[in-house]
Amino acid sequence: MSFYGYMGKILHVDLTSRDLEARDIDLSDAKNYIGGLGLNARLMEQVYMAGTDPLSPQNPLILGTGPLVGTGAPGAAKIIATTRFPLNGTISESVGSMRFARNMKGTGFDHVIITGKAKSPVVLVLGHDQVSLTEAGDLWGLDIFEATEALKRSHGGAKVSVIAIGPAGENRVAFSLALVDKASTLGRGGLGALMGSKNLKAIVALGRARPRVYDPEELKNLLGGIRERLKRFQNHARVLELGIMENWANYIKQLSARKNFTQVFPPDRATELYGPDVYRSLKIKRFGCPSCFTPDKDMLEVPEGPFRGFRTTTTSYFNSYSIGHLFDLNTTSDITAALRMTDALDRLGLDMLTFGTMLDFLVTEYEEGNLDPARFDLPLNRDMNTLEAWAAALSRRKGTAGDILSGGWRSLLEYLGEGYRQRAPIIKDCDIMWDPRPVGLGTMEFEQIVSLKGPRSASGGSPTYIPGQPEENLALFRRHLNRMGADENAIDRIMDSPLGFNVARMTRYSEDWYTILSSLGVCNRHFNNRFYSLSLCQRLFTAITGFDVDQEHLRESAVRTWDTLKRLNTKEGFGPDDDKPPEIWFRPMKGPSGEPLILRDYFGKKELTRNDIAGLIRDYYAERGWDETPPDLTRS
Same domain, 240 and 148: no
Q: Same domain for 310 and 438?
A: no
Would you tell me how many other CB atoms lie within 10 Å of the CB of residue 444? Answer: 26
For residues 179 and 321, membership in a common domain is answered with: no
Instruction: Indicate if 188 and 238 belong to the same structural domain.
Output: no
Bridge pairing between strands 111-115 and 426-427: unpaired
Out of 328, 348, 368, pick the residue that ends a domain. Answer: 348
Q: Which amino acid is at 443?
A: T
The residue out of 169, 190, 205 marking a domain boundary is 205
- Give the DSSP letter string of 239-275: HHHHGGGGGHHHHHHHS-EETTTTEE--HHHHHHHHS
309 and 242 part of one domain: yes
- H-type helices in 318-380, by residue range? 318-327, 337-348, 352-367
Residue 107 lies in a domain: yes
Strand-pairing partners, residue 427, are 430
Q: Report yes or no on 502 lying in a domain.
A: yes
180 and 89 part of one domain? yes
Q: Alpha carbon of 2 to those of 329, 539, 546: distances in Å?
A: 56, 20, 10
Apex 336 CA angle, 334 and 338, nearest 5: 115
Same domain, 197 and 315: no
- How far apart are the C-alpha atoms of 442 and 462, rounded to whole Å? 9
Q: Which residues pair with 5 in a beta bridge?
A: none
* 521 and 591 part of one domain: yes
Residues 301 and 339 in one domain: yes
543 domain residue, yes or no = no
In-domain check, residue 564: no
Residue 272 Cα to chain centre, angstroms: 28
List, in order, residues 6 or more apart from 248 with CB less than 8 Å away: 242, 271, 275, 276, 318
Cα angle vertex 541, ends 540, 542, to 5°? 90
Same domain as 162, residue 13: yes
CATH of the domain at 174: 3.60.9.10
- The Cα–Cα gap between 348 and 10 comes to 31
Q: Which of 487, 528, 486, 504 is nearest to 443 (CA)?
A: 504
User: Which residue type sits at 38?
Assistant: G
Per-residue H/E/C for 62-104: EEECCCCCCCCCCCCCCEEEEEECCCCCCEEEEEECCCHHHHH
Residue 618 counted as domain residue = yes
d(C-alpha 584, C-alpha 260), whole Å: 9
Number of domains in the chain: 3
Residue 550, domain member (yes or no):
no
pLDDT value for 365: 98
| 154/252 same-domain check | no
User: Which residue segment(s) compose the domain that 499 sits in?
Assistant: 433-532+575-635
Say if 417 falls within a structural domain.
Answer: no
Looking at residue 158, its pLDDT comes to 81
348, 369, 393 - which closes a domain = 348
pLDDT at 353: 97
Distances (CA, A) of 448 to 149, 445, 572, 596: 36, 6, 19, 23
Query: Which among 422, 394, 560, 395 has a CA at the least distance from the CA of 34?
Result: 560
pLDDT recorded at residue 230: 86
Instruction: Give yes or no: residues 201 and 291 share one domain.
Output: no
Question: Residue 314 half-sphere exposure, CB side, CA atoms within 13 Å?
Answer: 29
Give the per-residue pLDDT at 636.
35
Is there a domain that residue 367 lies in? no
CB 323 within 8 A of CB 345: yes
pLDDT along the chain (636 residues), means of 10: 92 98 97 98 98 98 98 96 98 97 98 98 94 98 98 92 98 98 96 98 97 98 93 88 93 96 97 97 93 90 96 96 98 96 98 98 98 97 97 97 96 96 97 97 97 90 92 94 97 97 98 97 89 97 98 98 97 94 98 96 97 96 83 44
Residue 64 has phi, psi (to 5 degrees) of: -140, 150
